[in-house]
Amino acid sequence: MTSLCTSLIVALMIVSASLPRDAVAAEPKSADYAALSEAILEGKEPRVLIDLSACQVHGADIAGPPIKASIRFDGYMIQADGTIAFATTHMTVRSDRSVREFLSFRVHANGKIDVRTATLGAVNFAVLKESSFDCEIGKAATFHW
């Protein structure tokens, strides 16, 4: 009986090891430009977690607004100077009107990130508001894939 039980346990372990599994480990996150660049070149699909309050309003010594977001992008471009560029747009409804929001990011090899936002009228695409922020990987932004 013991031999039969042992054989069944071994057989179950072999079958179990061969069954497909969903990944259990968390996706890696990047603390630097090099890992992000490598992930993009390997065809991974990064998303950014950003905290604009940990950024500075471009050209001022003022913290950004208390906005946190997780954003996934359709594509990334690594430019000749090594800058990683990506952008996205989405429609949203504010209390006074529908708008299209445009977000663009430029990640530099030194870990600095230029973030630009523009709010456009949904009907005529007129620029209603523009903002720019200076952020850093590891301080205001982390990338996950």
The pTM score is 0.77
What's the chain's length in residues?
A: 145
Annotate 47-77 with b (16+ C-beta within 10 A) or e (fewer).
bbebbbebbbeeeeeeebeeeeeeeebeebe
Structural domain containing residue 41: 28-144
Residue 16 resides in a domain = no
With beta carbons less than 8 A apart as the criterion, state whether 45 and 39 touch.
no
Rounded to a whole number of angstroms, the CA Rg of the chain reads 22
Residue 59 resides in a domain = yes
Residue 14 resides in a domain = no
* Number of separate domains in the chain: 1
Looking at residue 5, its pLDDT comes to: 41
Residue 17 resides in a domain = no
Looking at residue 74, its pLDDT comes to: 86
Residue 114 resides in a domain = yes
Looking at residue 30, its pLDDT comes to: 56
Looking at residue 108, its pLDDT comes to: 98
Distance from C-alpha of 102 to C-alpha of 121, rounded to nearest angstrom: 11
Residue 100 resides in a domain = yes
Looking at residue 27, its pLDDT comes to: 53
Looking at residue 29, its pLDDT comes to: 55
Low-confidence ranges of the chain (pLDDT < 50): 1-19, 21-25
In 14-97, DSSP assigns E strands to 29-30, 47-51, 56-57, 68-72, 77-78, 84-93
13: left (phi over 0), alpha (psi -120 to 50) or beta: alpha
Closest C-alpha to 85, from 106, 71, 103: 106
